[in-house]
């Protein structure tokens, strides 16, 4: 059997790994001209830890820990109002914190040599047949595969080709998020510093293991489908939001002048009515993006890839495998898309009074035995426990 996977993020290479272990021939295509190794801190929880352990890459992942000590809420003057060390309940920093690019590289390096990667390629059309799919690529070439897997993220361009234009899977959360890398300055430390401004901005500075800082700027917006923005347009939009907002916002705005890895856009949860059609299927964020507010995107991508590959390996008909994959995994994915009450609005302040209340709430939570109430974004360490029971598809110890 031969599979085409669109997308070389976390989900695509992870699915490729397990399909290859089950004896499939796999081709992975990526729209970018090379592996995209940028991105922010991500974590691995629940049964995803067992998956990477079975692959033999857990120690390598741990060796790439960002060194983040925990979360520190700061005020406009930079004073720490509350700390949540990594070992405490309520901390948004988890035991396994790794840069997205590092994790992608580790997974790709773990792939068997039989997995073929093609960069600068995308899918233009899918011709479905009873016994396979004829794929037309962006350069006009065609090729036949037994299955096609769209694993190209929240903003997947392949999703509509797989499930059609009427599935309407996007659920806009009313806010934008950005991610980029900044120079490390004197005074930067190994804490995730979280700042809430009085004008609707939430800004982060987080340490990495490369001598730089990872920043994120988030804000509420009614604009859920913006036109394409150039790098300069993204930079200016962020700088206009940041200037005069207190804390390190002016520093972030200044340092953006030399940044070329800016991601900026609206946040959507993906809630597709169905994940497959015929021999084509969605995986990872293309199927069930939970957004960073849940802290579960990477975990869902890893577990879902394992399940999808396993079902394909244990069913004669791909259509039956896709149905089994969805039955087994959809409830878990949807459960982990649920946001805590008030999120994301509770994290944003559009007045000085609300900004003070947010910092006060964090301070109270940090000093309380019930520290988990401070977890605005992902419910604290709710996912440190293993709640998904991994099926045994046979030969899963092959790594």
Q: What is the DSSP-derived secondary structure letter of residue 98?
A: E
Same domain, 113 and 86: no
Same domain, 83 and 20: no
Domain holding 185: CATH number?
A: 3.30.9.30
Q: Is residue 387 part of a domain?
A: no
Q: Is residue 201 part of a domain?
A: yes
Q: Is residue 395 part of a domain?
A: no
Q: Is residue 41 part of a domain?
A: no
Same domain, 242 and 332: no
Please state whether beta strands 142-145 and 132-137 pair in parallel, antiparallel, or not at all (unpaired).
antiparallel
Q: Is residue 199 part of a domain?
A: yes
Residue 143 bridge partners (DSSP): 135
Q: Which of 318, 338, 358 is the last residue of a domain?
A: 338
Report yes or no: 285 and 301 within 8 Å, Cβ to Cβ: yes
Same domain, 71 and 160: no
Please list the pLDDT of the chain residue by residue as tens digits (399 residues): 999 999 999 999 999 999 999 999 999 999 999 998 888 889 899 999 999 999 999 999 999 999 999 999 999 999 999 888 886 655 677 778 899 999 999 999 999 999 999 999 999 999 999 999 999 999 999 999 999 999 999 999 999 999 987 666 888 999 999 999 999 999 999 999 999 999 999 999 999 999 999 999 999 999 998 999 999 999 999 999 999 999 999 999 999 999 999 999 999 999 998 999 999 999 999 999 998 888 899 999 999 999 999 999 999 999 999 999 999 999 999 999 998 777 777 778 777 777 777 766 666 665 543 344 344 444 444 445 789 999 999 754 333
Distance between CA 30 and CA 115 in Å, rounded? 13
Same domain, 26 and 9: yes
Q: Is residue 393 part of a domain?
A: no
Q: What pLDDT does 48 receive? A: 96
- What are the two backbone dihedrals, phi and then psi, of residue 203, each rounded to the nearest 5 degrees? -120, 140
Q: What pLDDT does 167 receive? A: 65
Distance between CA 70 and CA 86 in Å, rounded? 4
Whole-angstrom CA distances from 119 to 27, 38, 69, 161 are 11, 16, 36, 20
Q: What pLDDT does 395 receive? A: 53
Q: Which two tokens stand for residue 150?
A: 């769209």
Q: Where are the alpha helices (DSSP H) in the chain?
A: 11-21, 48-55, 58-63, 100-110, 159-163, 231-242, 249-255, 285-288, 297-314, 318-335, 352-366
**Residue given tokens 């149905």 in the structure block:** 323
Which residues are within 8 A (CB) of 109 and not within 5 positions of it... i.e. 6 or more apart? none
Distance between CA 260 and CA 266 in Å, rounded? 19
Q: Is residue 25 part of a domain?
A: yes
Q: What pLDDT does 88 receive? A: 63
Q: Specify the length of the chain in residues.
A: 399
Same domain, 187 and 80: yes
Q: How far is CA 84 from the centre of its chain?
A: 23
Cα R_g (the chain), whole angstroms? 21
Distance between CA 209 and CA 333 in Å, rounded? 30
Same domain, 154 and 265: no
Same domain, 217 and 69: yes
Domain holding 283: CATH number?
A: 3.50.50.60
Q: What pLDDT does 377 receive? A: 41
Which residues are within 8 A (CB) of 353 and not within 5 positions of it... i.e. 6 or more apart? none
Q: What pLDDT does 398 receive? A: 36
Q: What pLDDT does 289 receive? A: 94
Q: Centre a 10 Å sphere on the Cβ of residue 165 and count the other Cβ atoms it contains.
A: 8
Same domain, 161 and 185: no
Evaluate the omega torsion of the peptide bond into residue 270 and state whether it is cis, within 30 degrees of 0. no
Range of the domain at 371: 46-95+170-270+341-378
- Burial class of 262 by CB neighbour count within 10 A (0 to 12, 13 to 18, 19+): buried
Distance between CA 181 and CA 218 in Å, rounded? 15
Same domain, 90 and 174: yes
Q: Is residue 384 part of a domain?
A: no
- Number of independent structural domains in the chain: 2
Distance between CA 377 and CA 380 in Å, rounded? 8
Same domain, 228 and 328: no
Same domain, 20 and 112: yes
């Amino acid at each position: 059997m031969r599979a085409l996977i669109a997308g070389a993020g976390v989900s695509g290479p992870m699915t490729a790994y397990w399909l290859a272990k089950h004896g499939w021939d796999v081709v992975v295509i990526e729209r970018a001209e090379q592996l995209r190794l940028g991105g922010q801190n991500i974590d691995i929880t629940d049964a995803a830890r067992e998956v990477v352990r079975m692959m033999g890459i857990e120690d390598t992942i741990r060796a790439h820990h960002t060194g983040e000590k925990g979360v520190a809420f700061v005020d406009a003057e930079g004073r720490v109002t509350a700390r949540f060390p990594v070992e405490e309940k309520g901390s948004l920093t988890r035991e396994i914190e790794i840069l997205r690019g590092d994790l992608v590289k580790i997974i790709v390096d773990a792939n068997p040599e039989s997995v073929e990667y093609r960069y600068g390629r995308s899918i233009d059309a899918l011709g479905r047949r009873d016994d396979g799919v004829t794929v037309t690529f962006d350069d006009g070439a065609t090729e036949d595969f037994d299955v096609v897997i769209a694993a190209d993220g929240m903003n997947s361009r392949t999703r509509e080709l797989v499930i059609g234009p009427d599935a309407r899977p996007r659920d806009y959360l009313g806010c934008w998020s950005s991610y980029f890398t900044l120079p490390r300055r004197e005074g930067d430390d190994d804490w995730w510093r979280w700042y809430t401004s009085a004008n609707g901005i939430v800004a982060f500075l987080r340490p990495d293991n490369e001598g730089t800082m990872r920043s994120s700027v988030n804000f509420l917006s009614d604009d859920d489908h913006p036109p394409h923005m150039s790098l300069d347009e993204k930079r200016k939009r962020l700088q206009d939001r940041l200037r005069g907002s207190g804390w390190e916002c002016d520093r972030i705005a200044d340092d953006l002048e030399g940044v070329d890895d800016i991601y900026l856009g609206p946040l959507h949860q993906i809630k597709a009515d169905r994940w497959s059609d015929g021999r084509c299927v969605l995986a990872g964020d293309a199927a069930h993006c939970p957004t960073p507010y849940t802290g579960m995107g990477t975990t869902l991508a890893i577990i879902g890839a394992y399940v999808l590959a396993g079902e394909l390996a244990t069913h004669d008909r791909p259509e039956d495998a896709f149905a089994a994959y969805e039955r087994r995994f959809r409830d878990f994915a949807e459960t982990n898309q649920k946001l805590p009450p008030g999120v994301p609005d509770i994290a944003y302040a559009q007045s000085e009074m609300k900004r003070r209340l947010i910092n006060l709430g964090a301070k109270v939570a940090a000093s309380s035995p019930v520290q988990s109430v401070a977890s605005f974004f992902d419910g604290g360490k709710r996912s440190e426990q293993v709640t998904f029971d991994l099926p045994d598809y046979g030969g899963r110890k092959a790594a």
